[in-house]
A and B are shown apart, each in its own frame.
Chain A
Amino acid sequence: MTVARLSGDTQLGRLGPALLLMAPAVVMVGLLFVYPLLVSLAFAFRNEATGAWGLANFHKAFALYGGDIALTAGVTVLSTALVGVLAIAIAGYLTLGENPRAVFILRWLYRWPLFIPFVVAAQLMRTFLAKNGMLNNALMSLGVVDPLHAISLLDWRGVVVTFVWKQLPFAALLISGAMASMDRSMIESARGLGAGRLRILLEIVVPQVQSTVFVALILSFVTMLSALSVPMMLVAGSPTLLTVDMAWRVNSYGDYGVANALGFVSFAMSGVAAWFYLRQGLREGGKPR
């Protein structure tokens, strides 16, 4: 009895400082993240005018913004897929490329967008992708596009271009890091046996860095899902992305109910990504990275 209590005490004694050290972080996360999150999730089900609880906000959200919900899912999934393909291509070339000068230039270049905030990227694209913007002007002077058929890309396509441009370096940085720390002997032996570079990339390198690719894409997905400035500045008219609709509900109608319902939908989307992320972490031994 005494022994048991004693060991309990020492365990607590050992745990004490650890708990104390964790407390500020836990309190911060709890107060500034978990609590508002739970309140906003709960208030998605509350009708602010009548005080009743129910699904009214969701009915309105889907009736008015159903198309935007689908578009948001579509744009973020498409952008994530493009980021994945291009990031693997860049990282693959950095790892397997044989022209040292090209590798050097690419390594130097690809990181630049990482240092540019979303809002600045959106402003750049606003003039770059417009009907008579820099892209079309360049294509016209090259004779690729004739002026009458030039189209503006300032809609969901512009958002995809901006998202990919902005998130690509982040994903490529993580993936090329993982590729660089790989054991090169397998690459060398595959090369020795006559495998082409593309085949080495797809069949030997990518499977080994799969988990990093996954993590990079999930983090990109969640970042893009939450970006407000890019759709706000690029998408003219509708349909647009959910973040814009949320801001609109709050700013124009003071309607937090429907905004929360849209937030709930957005949480659900990122929740799917978070689930994959945690599952990936557990598979690697319980330490999500």
Chain B
Amino acid sequence: MKNMHRSLAMSIAIALGSWGGLAHAQTTLNVISGGSQNMVDYITDYLGPLFEKQNPGVKVSVVGTGPDDAGSQKMLEKLQAQKSAGVTSWDTDVVIPNQQKTGEMVQDGLLMKYRDSIPTGKYAVSQSAKQALGVNVDGYVMPMFESQTAIAYNPDLVKNPPGSYDELRAFVAKNPKAFGYNGLKNGMSGVAFVVGWMYAYGGNPETVQQGPYDTKNSAGWKKAFSELKSFNQQVVFTPGNAGTLDMLNRGEIAMGPVWVDMFQSWKAEGRLAPNLRLKILSPGMPGQPYYYAIPAKAKNVDLAKKFIALATSPEVQAEGIVKRFNWYPGIDANVVKPALDPKVWNALFVDITPADLAKNGKPFPLAPYFKDLREQYEAQVQN
């Protein structure tokens, strides 16, 4: 009887021990990604397996929270809740938020300053690696990629596509209902179109992009919005970023603002008519990066740093970001280019040249201007 007890106790101890050992060997790196489904696919299909192969015993678990501010707001609230509850070890190791919410997270003390402690930190050279809509995020982020909005058009229907907002207005006046965009509440490509409009007609675009914030600088918006309101009478409204591409594809509109990466990926997958082309309107349309960041009290900090270092290495940026997912690299393009076949590199710039991008690729406005802009659109254009 006594023996049986002892053997029972021993087997339980062995069972518990091996279970504990197993739990130790299998560390899970928890990643939360904003953005569309393609960003989650990027981790599950490419980056996650690559990292797991290099780090045996580690499992990368990724959850997508969805595009735009909405998706990134969810992770902000999750981190905020853990901070408010006084939790010492947070359940998220890496977050991938958009610009607006990254700024808010840094201001709320939800992120960790880590960039200078990873080997690829030196490649973060772009303006957006330092500033996120006017908030200083230097050291807290590594850009995952840069994305850009542009006008997609059907060359069969539009022989000479407009190259500027002025030309677009002339085109729309002549061809009512041929241009479509997704308004303000239905995805960022529509927001980007409105922002570009305000850069063209609202006055003081540099101040709106760089600061300082002063409502004096937005005095010209009223006129620009009333012109946009009459412009809107002659366009079609589309249901969302994907909605614009769908309508282009079905021939319901001839032209509309889209995200370049989404356009290229859909085209590569055969979901878009192959003849559709892109063009950035001058004086400029906005683009934005997504960032890799580490929550202030992440559980697996070292692993998170290792993960981000891999993700922002020139090889992964070349193979994953540029070649497979059609984004512009987040890190210094000069170190990415040598790692790529020139053909792939050129395909990325087939419609929009690096010169176009340098001249007409703009950031979104400073956060307070951006908020005013959206709210005034609601009050003056939608009502």
Question: Which B residues from 199 to 217 make CB contacts under 8 A with A?
Answer: none
Question: Which A residues from 215 to 253 make CB contacts under 8 A with B?
Answer: 233-240, 244-245, 247-248, 250-253
Q: Out of B182, B239, B379, which one reaches A234, CB within 8 Å?
A: B239
Kindly state the separation between the CA atoms of A248 and B73 in the bound complex, as whole angstroms.
Answer: 11
Residues of B within 8 A of A250 (CB): 73
Residues of A within 8 A of B236 (CB): 152, 236
**Nearest B residue to A152, CB-CB:** B252
Whether, in the assembled complex, B104 has its beta carbon less than 8 Å from a beta carbon of chain A, the answer is: yes
Residues of B within 8 A of A133 (CB): 250
Kindly state the separation between the CA atoms of A240 and B250 in the bound complex, as whole angstroms.
Answer: 24
Residues of A within 8 A of B59 (CB): none
Question: Which A residues from 136 to 173 make CB contacts under 8 A with B?
Answer: 152, 154
Contact status of A253 and B238, CB under 8 A, knowing A132-B251, A236-B183, A248-B185? no
Residues of A within 8 A of B252 (CB): 130-132, 152
Residues of A within 8 A of B70 (CB): 247, 251-252
Q: Are A252 and B183 in contact (CB under 8 A)?
A: no
Whether, in the assembled complex, A8 has its beta carbon less than 8 Å from a beta carbon of chain B, the answer is: no
Q: Are B239 and A236 in contact (CB under 8 A)?
A: yes
**Nearest B residue to A237, CB-CB:** B237
Whether, in the assembled complex, B261 has its beta carbon less than 8 Å from a beta carbon of chain A, the answer is: no
Kindly state the separation between the CA atoms of A244 and B70 in the bound complex, as whole angstroms.
Answer: 12
Q: Are A240 and B185 in contact (CB under 8 A)?
A: yes
Q: Are B68 and A251 in contact (CB under 8 A)?
A: yes
A-B contacts at CB below 8 angstroms, number = 69
Q: Out of B69, B182, B371, which one reaches A236, CB within 8 Å?
A: B182
**Nearest A residue to B190, CB-CB:** A237
Q: Out of B73, B378, B379, which one reaches A254, CB within 8 Å?
A: B73
Residues of B within 8 A of A248 (CB): 185
**Nearest B residue to A127, CB-CB:** B246
| Distance in Å: Cβ of B205 to nearest Cβ of chain A | 21
Contact with A along B225-262 (1 / 0, CB 8 A): 00000001000111110010011001110000000000
Residues of A within 8 A of B251 (CB): 132
Q: Are A236 and B379 in contact (CB under 8 A)?
A: no
Kindly state the separation between the CA atoms of A236 and B379 in the bound complex, as whole angstroms.
Answer: 17
**Nearest A residue to B66, CB-CB:** A251
Whether, in the assembled complex, B116 has its beta carbon less than 8 Å from a beta carbon of chain A, the answer is: no
Kindly state the separation between the CA atoms of A236 and B246 in the bound complex, as whole angstroms.
Answer: 13
Whether, in the assembled complex, B83 has its beta carbon less than 8 Å from a beta carbon of chain A, the answer is: no
Kindly state the separation between the CA atoms of A254 and B368 in the bound complex, as whole angstroms.
Answer: 13
Whether, in the assembled complex, B382 has its beta carbon less than 8 Å from a beta carbon of chain A, the answer is: yes
Q: Are B69 and A235 in contact (CB under 8 A)?
A: no
Residues of B within 8 A of A244 (CB): 185
Most buried by A among B186, B232, B240, B243: B186
Whether, in the assembled complex, A63 has its beta carbon less than 8 Å from a beta carbon of chain B, the answer is: yes
| Distance in Å: Cβ of B23 to nearest Cβ of chain A | 32
Whether, in the assembled complex, A64 has its beta carbon less than 8 Å from a beta carbon of chain B, the answer is: yes
Q: Are B237 and A236 in contact (CB under 8 A)?
A: yes
Kindly state the separation between the CA atoms of A240 and B252 in the bound complex, as whole angstroms.
Answer: 21
Whether, in the assembled complex, A46 has its beta carbon less than 8 Å from a beta carbon of chain B, the answer is: no
Q: Are A236 and B186 in contact (CB under 8 A)?
A: yes
Q: Are B239 and A233 in contact (CB under 8 A)?
A: yes
Whether, in the assembled complex, B277 has its beta carbon less than 8 Å from a beta carbon of chain A, the answer is: no
| Distance in Å: Cβ of B79 to nearest Cβ of chain A | 14
Residues of A within 8 A of B371 (CB): 253
Kindly state the separation between the CA atoms of A251 and B182 in the bound complex, as whole angstroms.
Answer: 17
| Distance in Å: Cβ of A77 to nearest Cβ of chain B | 22
Kindly state the separation between the CA atoms of A211 and B251 in the bound complex, as whole angstroms.
Answer: 49
Kindly state the separation between the CA atoms of A133 and B232 in the bound complex, as whole angstroms.
Answer: 23
Whether, in the assembled complex, B375 has its beta carbon less than 8 Å from a beta carbon of chain A, the answer is: yes
Kindly state the separation between the CA atoms of A238 and B232 in the bound complex, as whole angstroms.
Answer: 11
Q: Are B73 and A131 in contact (CB under 8 A)?
A: no
Q: Are A132 and B250 in contact (CB under 8 A)?
A: yes
Q: Are A126 and B185 in contact (CB under 8 A)?
A: no
Q: Out of A132, A235, A254, which one reaches B104, CB within 8 Å?
A: A254
Whether, in the assembled complex, A54 has its beta carbon less than 8 Å from a beta carbon of chain B, the answer is: no
Q: Are B383 and A236 in contact (CB under 8 A)?
A: no
Q: Out of A234, A238, A252, which one reaches B382, CB within 8 Å?
A: A238
Kindly state the separation between the CA atoms of A133 and B239 in the bound complex, as whole angstroms.
Answer: 14
Kindly state the separation between the CA atoms of A87 and B378 in the bound complex, as whole angstroms.
Answer: 38
Q: Are A252 and B239 in contact (CB under 8 A)?
A: no
Q: Are B378 and A64 in contact (CB under 8 A)?
A: yes
**Nearest B residue to A239, CB-CB:** B382
Mind listing 24 A-B residue pairs with CB under 8 Å? A64-B375, A64-B382, A126-B239, A126-B243, A126-B246, A127-B246, A130-B246, A131-B247, A132-B251, A133-B250, A152-B252, A234-B239, A235-B239, A236-B182, A236-B186, A237-B182, A237-B237, A239-B382, A245-B185, A248-B185, A251-B68, A251-B70, A252-B68, A253-B375
- Chain A residues with a Cβ under 8 A of chain B: 63-64, 66-67, 126-127, 130-133, 152, 154, 233-240, 244-245, 247-248, 250-254
Known: A126-B246, A131-B250, A252-B68. 18 other contacts (CB 8 A): A63-B383, A64-B375, A126-B243, A132-B250, A152-B236, A233-B239, A236-B182, A236-B186, A237-B183, A238-B382, A240-B185, A245-B185, A247-B70, A248-B185, A250-B73, A253-B371, A253-B375, A254-B73
Report the 3 A-B pairs with minimum CB-CB distance, sorted nearest first: A237-B237, A251-B70, A236-B237
